[in-house]
Amino acid sequence: TYELETQESIGRGFRCGFLGTLHAEIISERLRREFDLDVVMSAPQVLCKVINKQDEEKLIFSAGKWPNPNEIKEAQEPWAKLEVISPLKYFGPVGEILSRTGGNFIERKYFGADRVFLIYEIPLREILVGFYDNLKGVSQGFASMNYEILGFRPTELVKLEILIAGEKKEAFSRIVPARNASGEGRKIVTKLKEILPPQLFSVSLQAAVSGRIVARETITAKRRD
């Protein structure tokens, strides 16, 4: 599926739905090879809901639309009911992945002597990026999953901003849970340090929440040789 979208940070484009990360990679590679397009792919994000001090609800499609924190009375994000079926011998690693999502354990059932059925309620954002690949990885491809949207639930969300040489780059901004802001910021600036070319001067990479720096890296300047 796809629909038109326009963002101030990266311009006009499409919001697309894929059958997984492999499908997304194949589509982007075909666009490059067959149509010679320089594709920019941004990370998927869920739709958030913000209730302001006047009790007005507003749907947030991207981090660029996130309001000032002083105007927010309550932030909500979609949750999902997640069902996972796995061979019993992979129950440990699968359970470890599920426990890291910050979701709520609901039920566990057994099918025969070798299969387990797990039900969790977790934030939808935890399913979107990497979860399916991790589930298949730890179960050697044998585990399967299904999910159902439950609706919006209150949560503490913040806008994570990335600054390169002191300048905010809106294209890298993300809406993340407050408890994960430092970790997410550290991952982004570390990745940017690996891929951005060095300059003739040192370049600071910072992750900030409401003006407070939560992570920092520095690209060292080129040497004379």
Quote the DSSP letter at residue 196: S
Q: In Å, what is the CA distance from 94 to each residue of 88, 108, 118?
A: 10, 13, 10
Residue 9 has pLDDT above 80, yes or no: no
- The two three-digit tokens of residue 42, written as one number: 């941004």
pLDDT > 90? residue 38: no
Instruction: Give residue 161's pLDDT.
Output: 92
* Confidence band for 27, pLDDT divided at 50, 70 and 90: very high
Interval 49-101: pLDDT, tens: 999 888 889 988 878 788 888 888 999 999 999 999 999 999 999 999 998 88
Q: Encoding tokens for residue 146?
A: 């299904």
Residue type, 73: K
Report the distance separating Cα 160 and Cα 79, nearest Å.
Answer: 21
Predicted pLDDT of residue 225: 64
Q: What stretches of 107-211 show up as alpha helix (H) in DSSP?
A: 125-128, 131-138, 181-195
Q: List pLDDT tens digits, range 13-22.
A: 888 888 877 8
The mean predicted confidence, pLDDT, of the chain is: 88
Confidence label for 7 from pLDDT (cuts 50, 70 and 90)? confident
* Three-state secondary structure call for residue 214: strand
Closest C-alpha to 159, from 172, 148, 147, 146: 172
The predicted model gives 156-179 an average pLDDT of 88
Contact predicate 86/139, CB 8 Å: yes
Q: Alpha-carbon distance 220 to 8, whole Å?
A: 30
